[in-house]
């Protein structure tokens, strides 16, 4: 695991939220309680900043600017929904051989859900929306059921953890409610895809801890996980994270 | 129990909370005898009206209120699955029993988690009647009824947590935990819906996501649980006016792609059907 590093960028992220320090103290107590798995996620969150910088992702002013505060979080969600929509569009257009009728129908449903999410964020953000991102899905073997399902699982679990982890950063209760309306649909997707891989794995120990809690990840952790799939340069320097 | 001093700092106790829920239980007891005399279709509406008169605003107003509200729902689910798993011959062995056992373990974990968080502020477990006064009389002898009620509970749980998120706005610890429980309930709901689909019959068209208002095949008795799920407008945007892959996004996809919240009052009305005292 990488060591904690400091940088100008990381400093600005940390001070972008005035309440950060106060809340951080509470959080540490909570992590003690919630156990080691959550704590190790937090460490990943810090180390990932270094990775982001190396990838040139959030280097300030040079990529698609997400904005700050709630707008940045909405653009963050918009970016993830764009990625999911792009993936499912390609999946439905290139069905692997032996795709069952049910699989075809449900993948089409999911595609339409992700398009609905994507288009909703685009309209809701209006002039503050980032433009359409370009993605790199060349690593996905769309003719392989196993590979498609594994990728879908990664995206859906990541989406759930992204909304769960960003919820408390949202200032406007209406935006929080919208995130809540979407995240449970992503969780329904995640569960179905997991069951297609292995019936009964809808909420196994990979994603649910001993307190019965799902995964929550900070925006910087989520973006480093998504980075290999995002071709466009993005500027998330003012995106709230922790 | 001093595991979480931190919560005492964050939360201010609602001193009227227990006062508010104890008269509620009394009224539910009275309700049980009356409800048998009215028709099935009218039941939810009737109950809803009665609860409004009896309780007024019992909805949580602070963090502890939300946590106790969540705890009440988790008590309901945990006991339900615990009884179901314990009833021999009810749930087929293999995958079905495995899945319900997984869900039971999560609901029990949620109860324990919320009780630890609340410490001595935790409400005690109500006495449940999972037949809902006879409406689901065969709930522990008929597997399909058992799954139908399970789906109703899970979809209610998803809506319930969503409805309370605003009270927890900005609360890193409690909101995050609530969201983490919320998405687990959604995973459960997805799986139970798949289990019902596999059973066929009235549930043959069931999808892991909710389509419109009451897609369950259970009947009008669960209408209150799905009321409003046919909403297609989000933040003033009509989702069916947006471009889909071909033409506009369909009304079905528009309702499926956003799960709707349920007010605390509506959730308590639903849970009240299953609470004896």
Contact residues, chain B, for A112 at CB < 8 Å: 244-245, 249-250, 253, 256-257
Can you name the residues that pair with A234 across neighbouring β-strands? A64
B113, B180, B243 member nearest A216 (Cβ): B180
Cα B237 to Cα A23: distance, rounded to the nearest angstrom: 34
- A133-142, A233-242, B42-51, B225-234: which range is least confident on average? B42-51
Q: What is the pLDDT of residues B89-140, one digit of tens each?
A: 999 999 999 999 999 999 999 999 999 999 999 999 999 999 999 999 999 9
Q: So what's the pLDDT on residue B272?
A: 87
- Based on the structure, what is the number of domains in chain A? 1
Interchain CB distance below 8 Å, A117 and B170: no
Reported confidence tier of residue A4, pLDDT bands at 50, 70, 90: very low
Contact criterion met (CB below 8 Å) for B209 and B255 = no
| Residues spanned by the domain of A86 | 68-234
Q: So what's the pLDDT on residue B51?
A: 37
Query: What is the three-class DSSP state of B238?
Result: strand
Which of B33, B41, B66 is CA-nearest to residue B268? Answer: B66
Contact residues, chain A, for B172 at CB < 8 Å: 23, 26-27, 168
Contact residues, chain B, for A120 at CB < 8 Å: 234-235, 237, 239, 242
Q: So what's the pLDDT on residue A222?
A: 98
Contact residues, chain A, for B169 at CB < 8 Å: 170-171, 173, 176
Closest residue of B to A17, CA-based?
B170
The runs of H, that is alpha helices, within chain B are 5-10, 17-35, 43-55, 63-86, 95-118, 143-164, 172-199, 223-226, 251-256, 264-272
Q: So what's the pLDDT on residue B129?
A: 94
* pLDDT higher than threshold 60 for residue A107: yes
Q: So what's the pLDDT on residue B58?
A: 63
Number of Cβ pairs < 8 A linking chain A and chain B: 219
> What percent of chain A has a predicted confidence (pLDDT) above 90?
74
> Pairing relation of β-strands A64-65 and A234-235?
parallel
Closest residue of A to B238, CA-based?
A120
Closest residue of A to B115, CA-based?
A211
> Pairing relation of β-strands B237-238 and A64-65?
unpaired
Interchain CB distance below 8 Å, B110 and A211: yes
A115, A119, A181 member nearest B162 (Cβ): A181
Phi, then psi, of B234 in degrees rounded to 5: -120, 120
Reported confidence tier of residue A61, pLDDT bands at 50, 70, 90: low
- The domain spanning residue A174 has which CATH number? 1.20.1260.10
Instruction: Report ipTM for this prediction.
Output: 0.82
Higher pLDDT, A236 or B13: A236
> What percent of chain B has a predicted confidence (pLDDT) above 70?
79
Reported confidence tier of residue A55, pLDDT bands at 50, 70, 90: very low
* pLDDT higher than threshold 50 for residue A129: yes
DSSP conformational letter for A203: T
Cα A49 to Cα A7: distance, rounded to the nearest angstrom: 9
Which of B175, B167, B176, B121 is CA-nearest to residue B264? Answer: B167
Closest residue of B to A168, CA-based?
B170
Contact criterion met (CB below 8 Å) for A233 and A56 = yes
Contact criterion met (CB below 8 Å) for B54 and B23 = yes
Q: So what's the pLDDT on residue B59?
A: 80
Contact residues, chain B, for A92 at CB < 8 Å: 245
Reported confidence tier of residue B277, pLDDT bands at 50, 70, 90: low
Which residue in this structure is represented by tokens 């019902």?
B196
Closest residue of A to B236, CA-based?
A124
In a domain, A178, yes or no: yes
* pLDDT higher than threshold 80 for residue A47: no
């Amino acid at each position: 695991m990488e060591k904690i590093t400091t940088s100008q960028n990381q400093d600005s992220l940390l001070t972008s939220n005035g309440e950060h320090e106060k809340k951080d103290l509470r959080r540490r107590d909570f992590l003690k309680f919630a156990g080691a798995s959550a704590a190790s996620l937090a460490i990943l969150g810090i180390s990932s900043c270094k990775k982001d910088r190396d990838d040139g992702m959030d280097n300030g002013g040079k990529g698609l600017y997400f904005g700050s505060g709630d707008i940045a979080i909405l653009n963050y969600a918009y970016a993830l929904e764009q990625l999911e929509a792009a993936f499912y569009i390609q999946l439905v257009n290139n069905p692997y051989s032996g795709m069952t009728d049910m699989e075809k129908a449900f993948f089409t449903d999911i595609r339409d859900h992700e398009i609905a999410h994507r288009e909703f964020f685009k309209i809701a953000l209006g002039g503050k929306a980032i433009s359409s991102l370009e993605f790199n899905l060349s690593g996905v073997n769309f003719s392989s059921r196993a590979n498609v399902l594994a990728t879908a699982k990664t995206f859906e679990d990541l989406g759930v953890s992204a909304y769960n982890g960003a919820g408390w950063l949202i200032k406007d209760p209406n935006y929080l409610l919208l995130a809540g309306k979407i995240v449970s649909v992503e969780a329904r997707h995640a569960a179905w895809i997991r069951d297609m891989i292995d019936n009964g794995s809808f909420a196994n120990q990979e994603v649910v801890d001993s307190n019965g809690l799902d995964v929550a990840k900070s925006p910087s952790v989520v973006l480093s996980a998504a980075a290999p799939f995002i071709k466009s340069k993005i500027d998330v320097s003012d995106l709230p994270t922790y | 129990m001093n595991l979480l001093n931190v919560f005492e700092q964050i939360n201010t106790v609602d001193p009227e909370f227990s006062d508010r829920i104890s008269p509620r239980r009394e009224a539910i007891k009275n309700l049980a005898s009356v409800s048998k005399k009215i028709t099935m279709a009218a039941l939810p509406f009737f109950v809803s009206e009665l609860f409004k008169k009896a309780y007024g605003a019992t909805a949580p107003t602070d963090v502890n209120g939300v946590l106790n509200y969540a705890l009440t729902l988790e008590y309901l689910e945990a006991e339900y699955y615990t009884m179901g798993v314990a009833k021999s011959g009810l749930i087929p062995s293999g995958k079905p029993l495995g899945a319900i056992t997984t869900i039971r373990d999560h609901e029990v974990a949620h109860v324990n988690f919320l009780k630890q968080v609340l410490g001595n502020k935790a409400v005690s477990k109500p006495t449940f009647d999972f037949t809902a006064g006879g409406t689901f009389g065969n709930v522990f002898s008929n597997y399909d009824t058992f799954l139908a009620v399970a789906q109703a509970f899970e979809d209610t749980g998803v809506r319930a947590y969503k409805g309370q998120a605003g009270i927890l706005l900005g609360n890193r610890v409690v909101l995050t935990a609530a969201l983490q429980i919320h998405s687990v309930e959604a995973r459960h709901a997805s799986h139970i819906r798949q289990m019902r689909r596999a059973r066929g019959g009235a549930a043959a068209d069931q999808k892991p996501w909710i389509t419109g208002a009451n897609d369950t095949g259970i009947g009008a008795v669960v209408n209150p649980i799905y009321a409003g799920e046919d909403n297609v407008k989000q933040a003033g945007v009509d989702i069916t006016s947006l471009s889909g892959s071909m033409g506009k996004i369909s009304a079905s996809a528009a309702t499926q792609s956003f799960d709707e919240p349920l007010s605390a009052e509506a959730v308590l009305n639903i849970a009240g059907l299953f609470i004896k005292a």
